[in-house]
């Protein structure tokens, strides 16, 4: 056991944030802490690190174990540039490296009588440096920064030049490079693009130490977590498995608990009725029997009533009328902003029942496509045409369709004036706006509240084509899942942009990837899309426009397959040659170590300098070879 969190309580004023939080973290375990906003996830991390005191309870970390903490909001980082800031995380190695260099410079001036002791100390330090990863930590730090989106000249950028998001990425890189026994990460994928998130998933999944993560990206948690700590009710429930497993287990547990509670309550009521009946007979024998039953009832371990969370969003998406088979034709559309071309001659079709997710890096034009369809922005050439009987419901991630001066109530009533006041209030209650909440101004709402208002309007539209731009932004996990459930039961057609991979995985049956102004089509959900991309990547086949995954695979003819096989053999030969070179250099290094220990050499400063120079040369070659091997192996 690496960490024990025992009976932690924490309140702010009269509000109880955490009640009786208890769980353990084993060595090498990856633990996700989940719960809706305000349940104390970040607070619990701060208590574990000692940044906040607990009101009650105890946190115990294994003796001599180290931990590193990434907060959501970073303090200033100090370092001359990005690479130095990350390398400075290993001050122990930098210090040893500096000392080794100093000792190497001193060797020629050490007296013969002191040489043996000097060299013994030198080799001890060198061995310690080697065991601690001293000869590879620079290349590992560069690899981490590359994975987080920094490379080339970026590494030499001054910290003063960086944005807040870039500084957060450097903080994460520094933390990973420090390689503590326990990583505590609070929303680590904020400010990361999709490629960096996928790299981090792989890095953390293979991390030898333990990890505690707070994150809203459920797909990310699915890939990494082997345990989930749920803070939904202010106290902890611990589940084994990843996030999807937790959702299934929690649902089953709650159902079983509620049934057991109801059964016990019926038994209690029955026993009370029997006791009351026995007492009513007013005979000594019946009174004794009543007292006996009452004692048994008093000793019963009464279950707590099932926790009822605060109001949950209730969303049902219906259509007023059916659309035709052909829903939307986006034909040869070109769009530019000033002198920058966003995309040109872009085409795709949407058919009835399609559930299409548009994916791509930031800035590629995904939202622009949706705005063009909804007439919110002009385009230069092409045509956008709706099919017969198509009615559109649009969810804007910026909620620009909301009137800032309106109250929540008037926002819905203005959009649907035929609705009665009762119907508007009932609708808003389904989206967790009750009593005086309905008179809040739109301008005063949080991102999550604005999102719920937009979803309420969307539900009332009863449109048969929903166009959604980042619909899960600002929603808590429970609301995201309820939106997913509603969309999966929706009978209309769906076209959306989302960075939420879990959401895409649950709701899409077609992926359109927008890259370099071109769309590539993949059949299936997000997992299918990733599997197909990996398959195409492993065969070194560049798909420009994939009409279907089956059709693309069929285009790989015999000649192309032979070329790919030849490339693989070349790659494997290169890897084998590097491995042979590494083996030879490791052998040479071992021989040099033996030379250092020979009595005739231990007092010969010239020979020692020669051996040291050779050893340093071998270490430098090995570092390059290991880096090349890692790069080529990732392509194999």
List, for residues 388-442, the tens digit of each pLDDT value.
999 999 988 777 778 888 899 999 889 898 889 898 888 888 887 888 888 989 8
Residue 514, token pair as written in the block: 């927008």
- The backbone torsions φ and ψ at residue 331, rounded to the nearest 5 degrees and listed phi first, read -120, 115
Q: How many CB atoms lie within 10 A of CB 11?
A: 12
Q: How many CB atoms lie within 10 A of CB 492?
A: 25
Q: What is the CA radius of gyration of the chain?
A: 32
Give the distance from CA 84 to its chain's centroid.
27
Helices 137-147 & 605-635 angle (0-180, nearest 10): 20
Of 634, 627, 624, which Cα lies nearest the Cα of 571?
634
Q: Residue 360 above 90 pLDDT?
A: no
Strand partners, 326: 351
Strand partners, 494: 355, 466
Q: Residue 511 above 90 pLDDT?
A: yes
Q: Averaged over 529-553, what is the pLDDT?
A: 60
Q: Residue 614 above 60 pLDDT?
A: yes
Q: Is 376 exposed, middle or buried (0-12, 13-18, 19+ CB in 10 A)?
A: middle
Give me the pLDDT at residue 560, please: 56
Q: Residue 465 above 50 pLDDT?
A: yes
Residue at token pair 């494997």: 572
Q: Averaged over 443-469, what is the pLDDT?
A: 87
CA dist., res. 615 & res. 624, Å (int): 15
- Between the CA atoms of 239, 245, 251 and 252, what dihedral angle is there, to the nearest 10 degrees? -80
pLDDT band at 219; cut points 50, 70, 90:
very high
Q: Averaged over 58-68, what is the pLDDT?
A: 91
CA dist., res. 531 & res. 125, Å (int): 47
Q: What percent of the chain has pLDDT over 90?
A: 31
pLDDT band at 562; cut points 50, 70, 90:
low
Q: Is 361 exposed, middle or buried (0-12, 13-18, 19+ CB in 10 A)?
A: middle
CA dist., res. 154 & res. 151, Å (int): 5
Q: Which of 173-182, 282-291, 336-345, 446-455 shows the highest mean pLDDT? A: 173-182
Task: Summarize pLDDT for 545-556 with one digit per residue, the tens.
Answer: 444 444 444 444
User: What are the strands of the beta sheet with 56-61, ordered from one edge?
Assistant: 15-25, 3-12, 56-61
Q: Averaged over 157-179, what is the pLDDT?
A: 85
Question: Which range (82-86, 88-92, 545-549, 606-610) has the least confidence?
Answer: 545-549
pLDDT band at 76; cut points 50, 70, 90:
low
Taken in order 450, 456, 458, 461, the sign of the CA dihedral is negative
CATH, domain 326-552, list 3.90.1640.10, 3.40.50.300, 3.90.1150.200, 2.60.40.420: 3.40.50.300
Q: Averaged over 293-311, what is the pLDDT?
A: 77
Give me the pLDDT at residue 77, please: 57
pTM, full prediction: 0.69
Give me the pLDDT at residue 482, please: 87
Q: Averaged over 277-302, what is the pLDDT?
A: 85
């Amino acid at each position: 056991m690496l960490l024990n969190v025992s009976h932690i309580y924490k309140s702010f004023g009269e509000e109880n944030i955490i009640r009786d939080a208890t769980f353990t973290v084993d060595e090498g375990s990856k633990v996700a802490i989940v719960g809706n906003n305000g349940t104390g996830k970040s607070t619990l991390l701060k208590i574990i690190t000692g940044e906040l005191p607990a009101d009650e309870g105890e946190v115990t970390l294994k003796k001599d174990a180290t931990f590193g903490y990434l907060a959501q909001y970073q303090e200033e980082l100090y370092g001359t540039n990005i690479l130095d800031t990350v390398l400075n995380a290993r001050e122990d190695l930098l210090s040893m490296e500096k000392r080794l260099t100093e000792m190497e410079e001193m060797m020629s001036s050490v007296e013969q009588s002191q040489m043996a002791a000097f060299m013994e100390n030198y080799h001890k330090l060198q061995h310690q440096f080697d065991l601690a990863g001293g000869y590879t930590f620079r290349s590992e730090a560069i690899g981490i920064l590359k994975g987080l989106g920094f490379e080339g000249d970026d590494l030499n950028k001054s910290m003063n030049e960086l944005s807040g998001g870039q500084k957060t990425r450097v903080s994460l890189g520094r933390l990973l490079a420090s390689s503590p026994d326990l990583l505590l990460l609070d929303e680590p994928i904020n400010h990361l693009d999709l490629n960096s998130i996928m790299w981090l998933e792989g890095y953390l999944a293979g991390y030898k130490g333990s990890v505690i993560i707070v994150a809203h990206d459920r797909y990310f948690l699915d890939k990494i977590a082997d345990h989930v700590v749920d803070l939904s009710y202010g106290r902890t429930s611990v589940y084994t498995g990843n996030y999807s497993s937790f959702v299934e287990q929690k649902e089953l547990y709650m159902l079983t608990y509620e049934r057991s509670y109801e059964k016990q309550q019926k038994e209690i009521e029955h026993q009370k009725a029997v006791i009351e009946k026995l007492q009513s007979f007013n005979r000594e024998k019946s009174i004794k029997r009543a007292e006996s039953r009452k004692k048994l009832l008093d000793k019963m371990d009464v279950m707590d009533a099932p926790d009822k969370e605060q109001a949950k969003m209730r969303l049902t998406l219906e259509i007023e009328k059916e659309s035709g088979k052909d829903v939307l034709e986006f034909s040869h559309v070109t769009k530019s902003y000033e002198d920058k071309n966003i995309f040109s001659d872009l085409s795709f079709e949407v058919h009835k029942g399609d559930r299409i997710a548009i994916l791509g890096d930031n800035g590629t034009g995904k939202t622009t496509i949706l705005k063009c369809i909804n007439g919110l922005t002009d385009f230069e050439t092409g045509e956008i045409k709706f099919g017969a009987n198509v009615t559109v419901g649009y969810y804007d991630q910026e909620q620009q369709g909301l009137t800032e001066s309106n109250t929540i109530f008037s926002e819905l009533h203005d959009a649907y004036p035929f609705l009665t006041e009762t119907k508007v209030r009932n609708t808003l209650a389904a989206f967790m706006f009750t009593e005086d909440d309905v008179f809040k101004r739109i301008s005063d709402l949080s991102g999550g509240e604005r999102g719920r208002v937009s979803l309420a309007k969307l539900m009332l539209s009863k449109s048969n084509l929903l166009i959604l731009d980042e619909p899960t932004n600002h929603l808590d996990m429970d609301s995201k899942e309820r939106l997913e459930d509603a969309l999966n039961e929706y009978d209309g057609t769906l076209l959306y942009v989302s960075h939420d991979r879990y959401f895409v995985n649950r709701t899409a049956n077609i992926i359109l990837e927008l890259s370099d102004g071109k769309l590539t089509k993949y059949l299936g959900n997000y997992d299918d899309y990733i599997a197909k991309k990996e398959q195409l990547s492993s065969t070194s086949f560049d798909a420009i426009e994939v009409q279907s995954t089956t059709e693309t695979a069929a285009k790989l003819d015999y000649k192309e397959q032979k070329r790919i096989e030849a490339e693989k053999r070349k790659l494997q030969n290169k890897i084998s040659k590097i491995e042979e070179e590494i083996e030879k250099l490791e052998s040479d290094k071992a021989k040099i170590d033996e030379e250092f220990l020979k009595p005739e050499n231990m007092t010969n400063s010239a020979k020692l300098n020669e051996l040291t120079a050779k050893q340093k040369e071998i270490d430098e070659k090995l570092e390059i070879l290991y880096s090349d091997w890692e790069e080529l192996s990732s392509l194999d």
